[in-house]
A = this chain, B = another copy of it.
Amino acid sequence: MANPPMRFMSDNTATACPEMLAALAEANRGLAIAYGDDPWTERLDRALGEFFDKPVRAFALATGTAANALALATLTPPYGAIFAHREAHIACDECGAPAFYSGGAQLQLLEGKHAKLAPDTLAAALDAHPTSVHTVQPAAVSVSQASELGAAYRPDELAALCAVAHARGLKVHMDGARFANAVCFLGCHPAEVTWRAGVDVLSFGASKNGALAAEAVVFFDTDLVRDFELRRKRAGQLISKSRFIAAQLLAYVRDDLWRRNAERANGFARRIGQAAGARLIAPVEANEVFVQLGIDGKRTLRAAGFEFYDWGAEHAGIARLVSAWDQDETHVDALCAALTERCEP
Question: Residues of A at under 8 Å CB distance from B?
Answer: 4, 7, 9-10, 12-16, 21, 24-25, 28-35, 61-70, 77-79, 92-97, 99-101, 103-107, 109, 127-128, 133-137, 207-208, 212-213, 227, 229-241, 244-245, 312-313, 324, 326
Q: Which residue of B has the minimal Cβ distance to A7?
A: B31
One complex includes copies of this chain to the number of 4
Provided the pairs A21-B28, A212-B24, A233-B65 are in contact, do residues A227 and B77 lie with their beta carbons within 8 angstroms? yes
Contact of A236 among B97, B239, B244 (CB under 8 A): B97
A107 touches B106 (CB 8 A): yes
Q: List 26 A-B contacts (CB under 8 A).
A: A7-B33, A9-B33, A12-B241, A13-B32, A13-B34, A15-B30, A16-B241, A21-B24, A24-B212, A35-B134, A62-B213, A62-B239, A65-B234, A65-B238, A66-B236, A92-B135, A93-B134, A95-B135, A96-B234, A101-B236, A104-B234, A136-B234, A207-B241, A208-B240, A212-B241, A235-B236
**Distance between Cα atoms of A106 and B84 in the complex (Å):** 14
**Distance between Cα atoms of A134 and B89 in the complex (Å):** 10
B25 touches A136 (CB 8 A): no
B16 touches A34 (CB 8 A): no
Q: Contacts of A68 on B, CB cut-off 8 Å?
A: 236
**Distance between Cα atoms of A31 and B331 in the complex (Å):** 12
B93 touches A135 (CB 8 A): yes
Leading 3 A-B pairs by shortest Cβ distance = A66-B236, A12-B34, A65-B236
Provided the pairs A28-B21, A236-B63, A240-B12 are in contact, do residues A96 and B105 lie with their beta carbons within 8 angstroms? yes
Provided the pairs A12-B35, A313-B127 are in contact, do residues A240 and B103 lie with their beta carbons within 8 angstroms? no
B69 touches A96 (CB 8 A): no
A78 touches B103 (CB 8 A): yes
Q: Which residue of B has the minimal Cβ distance to A73?
A: B78
Least Cβ–Cβ distance between A168 and chain B, in angstroms: 15
**Distance between Cα atoms of A172 and B170 in the complex (Å):** 31
**Distance between Cα atoms of A217 and B87 in the complex (Å):** 32
**Distance between Cα atoms of A104 and B236 in the complex (Å):** 14
**Distance between Cα atoms of A230 and B227 in the complex (Å):** 20
Q: Contacts of A213 on B, CB cut-off 8 Å?
A: 62, 239-241, 244-245
B134 touches A240 (CB 8 A): no
B134 touches A94 (CB 8 A): yes
Q: Contacts of A21 on B, CB cut-off 8 Å?
A: 21, 24-25, 28
10 additional A-B residue pairs with CB within 8 Å, beyond A21-B24, A64-B240, A137-B230: A35-B134, A63-B236, A69-B236, A79-B230, A95-B234, A96-B105, A109-B109, A134-B233, A207-B240, A235-B235
